[in-house]
Structure 1
Amino acid sequence: MQMWFFMLFIVIVLPFIMFMCSFYFIAGGPKNINNIFGYRTGWSMINKDTWTFAHEYCGKLWLKVSIIFILASIVIMLCLIKTDQRVFVAVGFVIFIAEFVTLFFTINKTEKALADNFDIKGNRKK
């Protein structure tokens, strides 16, 4: 049973972090463009407008995705509570990989949104 709780923690930790960060990002993220914390890519760091847009867009994606993953992870793991340890560990691993891949998908989607809304100099497209 301890291993089941550990796996539940593992599959919930990444979407929980995304959930918590999403509110901060939706509010615009860090006030100043920096290299330490926030959504930091070449597109997002061009100027304050791209920085704020990227954080708000990514934050909205993370909020949706994190809620789905938290709920789905809990339901799936509850369905596996009585199964063999190898089964829930394997399923937990698959869930974690799916969460990790989805994290990169949200980055790709945010970069596309930046490219669709801004030119290479950071000016909004009309």
Structure 2
Amino acid sequence: MYPICVLIALLPPIAMLAVGIWWKVSPPKLEGKGLAYRTQLSTKSPEAWAFAHKHCSRLWVRMGVILTAAAGIAMYLLRDQDYQTFLIWILAGEMALFCVSAFLVDALLKANFDA
């Protein structure tokens, strides 16, 4: 059961890292469908779209690396304790930081593109 919990704890930050690298290499198109950072501010102009994906990808790569290391270390240190309960706290923290990243990118968009 422990290896499955470790995999579950590492899946969200690894996904953030992968999407961040993907968007850094090949940002999504404004007109395209699929996985993209779509908010009211990011879709105002092609410049805002590119800016949002550049900064979101940079943020997600950094957060993905840090969260993967932190979750891996935490799960290793708690392997002999009640790691299943702690897994829920790890996932909640990862999802909270994921949501915070959206607010950070929107704040950057407001500062640079909103008059």
TM-score normalised to the size of structure 1? 0.85
Larger Rg over CA atoms: 1
Q: Structure 1 CA distance, aligned partners of 2:106 and 2:30?
A: 19
Q: Point out where structure 1 has 5 or more consecutive residues left out of the alignment.
A: 121-126
- Structure 2 residue aligned with 1:22, among 8, 20, 35? 20
How many residues are treated as equivalent by the alignment? 115
Preserved CA contact (<8 Å) 2:13 2:94: yes
Which structure's residues are more often helix, by fraction?
A: 2
Q: Point out where structure 2 has 5 or more consecutive residues left out of the alignment.
A: none
* SS of residue matched to 1:45: coil
Q: Structure 1 CA distance, aligned partners of 2:30 and 2:39?
A: 14
Preserved CA contact (<8 Å) 1:22 1:62: yes
Q: Which has the higher contact order (CA 8 A, sep 6+)?
A: 2
Report sequence identity in percent.
23
Coordinate RMSD, CA, aligned: 1.4
Deviation larger for 104-113 or 39-48: 39-48
TM-score normalised to the size of structure 2? 0.92
- 1:1-126 to 2 correspondence within 5 Å? 3-27=1-25, 29-83=27-81, 87-119=82-114
